[in-house]
Amino acid sequence: MRALVYLGPGSAELQDRPAAQLVHDDDVVVEIVGTGVCGTDRKILLGRFPARPGVVLGHESVGVVRETGPQVRSVGVGDRVVVNPTLYCGWCVPCRRGATNFCRHKAGTEVGVDRDGTYAETVTLPERFVERVPAGLSFRGAVLIEPLACVLSNVKAASVTFDDTVVVLGAGPIGMLTALVAARQARRVVVAEPDGYRLERAREQFAHVVDVAGTDPAEAVVKASGGERPSVVFDTTGTGLDAALRLIDDGGRVVVMGFDDTYSVPLRPLQLTNRGIQLIGAGDYRADVFPVAVDLAAELGAPQRTGTGTGAGTSTSTGPVLDRLVTHEFPLERYSEAFLALGGLTRDDGGGGDGGDEGSARAPRYDALKVVIRSHTGPVGADGWPMSA
């Protein structure tokens, strides 16, 4: 099969690899239809997030079951499924108390990081990490289930309530999903973004969007909000903690979401204690969050009537909100074009998290919102799934 293999920072190539096969009785072989390009994938290729050279990249994946082991009961051949790439052992102390996201045996199990991922034609996974896609959910909606699980975990960690004012730094896919989910609970949600393309997409969906290009994002958001500071800030960029700490109101919560191993910021503990600020890192999502993301995707992936929406904005589009977030698709052999649409892979471009790097001298320029790399090359239906699925 064809697979996109990570060779080291700045380098990846398509290789021929053995097709996925059943190994254990509870294994499932999935024919990959497509995989969303995650900001983490780009960070790996930029050398800003660690991964094992030689691994097949990709983890935000959906596909069709092609083979099952004799013990598999929850899915069958021909089922449309979504991959849960956050593997866990189930028997260590954190797993037994339900904290599967902090499994102590993650080494070698991180799909697309140190275990072969889904920028490929097939993949083998244990049954419990493969879930059926709800009937009627389009391919584009389904491919956002895994990012939605990440967002649900972080919004839950922030304990957002109806009296909260929320600011989301970054209007990339994770930022947009965070704003959509937070808006279901919060009093008001503001999205801050420096990139022109993503600003336009955010304004299609949300009523409160602030352009922070060429300015201090904290000052720009406070000014646009009439001097009011938010009670919750989500930094989806991975490089906006400094701005978030200057922006947050006393007694507020700052949730750090973006991944960038090269970013650091000086932190004075007194800044937190005197102002009562909570700094929150949620980590990966727990196993019980993933089914919730599947159900929510089915809701957000349903067609919407003109003038309706999630309560977050003013969009009049009739398409499902999740489908509108996926703006580009590329076949596997054109993977370099997929990354180019998301700012490219120039290592000195200042980083650029999910929503851009507010602190960089030269942030990446985006030509897409959510990009999907398709492994399946055959004919597809109106819903984006293979005609045979």
CA distances from 24 to 68, 200, 240, 250, 284 (A): 10, 48, 43, 53, 26
For tokens 């929406």, what's the residue?
Answer: 309
Which pLDDT score is estimated for 217?
97
Per 3-state DSSP, the chain is made up of helix, strand and coil in percentages (nearest 5) of: 25, 25, 50
Question: What average pLDDT does the segment 158-184 reach?
Answer: 97
- Packed helices 145-158 and 173-183: angle between N→C axes, nearest 10 degrees: 50
Which pLDDT score is estimated for 308?
42
Tokens of 226: 């009439």
Which pLDDT score is estimated for 317?
52
Question: What average pLDDT does the segment 61-73 reach?
Answer: 98
DSSP H helices in the chain: 39-45, 93-96, 139-142, 145-158, 173-183, 196-205, 217-224, 241-247, 269-275, 289-300, 321-325, 335-340
Question: 3-class SS at 100?
Answer: helix
Give the count of beta carbons closer than 10 Å to the beta carbon of residue 387. 8
Calpha distance 167→277 (Å, rounded): 15
Compare 316 and 1 and report the one with higher pLDDT: 1
Which pLDDT score is estimated for 362?
52
- Helical (H) or strand (E) element with 253: strand 253-256
Q: Which of 9, 8, 46, 10 is nearest to 259 (CA)?
A: 46
Which pLDDT score is estimated for 48?
87
- Packed helices 196-205 and 173-183: angle between N→C axes, nearest 10 degrees: 20
Question: What average pLDDT does the segment 22-36 reach?
Answer: 98
pLDDT digits (tens, 9 = 90+) for 326-372: 999 999 999 999 999 998 875 444 334 454 433 344 567 899 999 99
Given a contact cutoff of 8 angstroms between Cβ atoms, the answer to whether 32 and 17 are in contact is: no
pLDDT digits (tens, 9 = 90+) for 86-137: 999 999 999 999 999 999 998 889 999 999 999 999 999 999 999 999 999 9
pLDDT digits (tens, 9 = 90+) for 257-311: 987 778 899 989 998 999 999 999 998 999 999 999 999 999 998 876 544 444 4
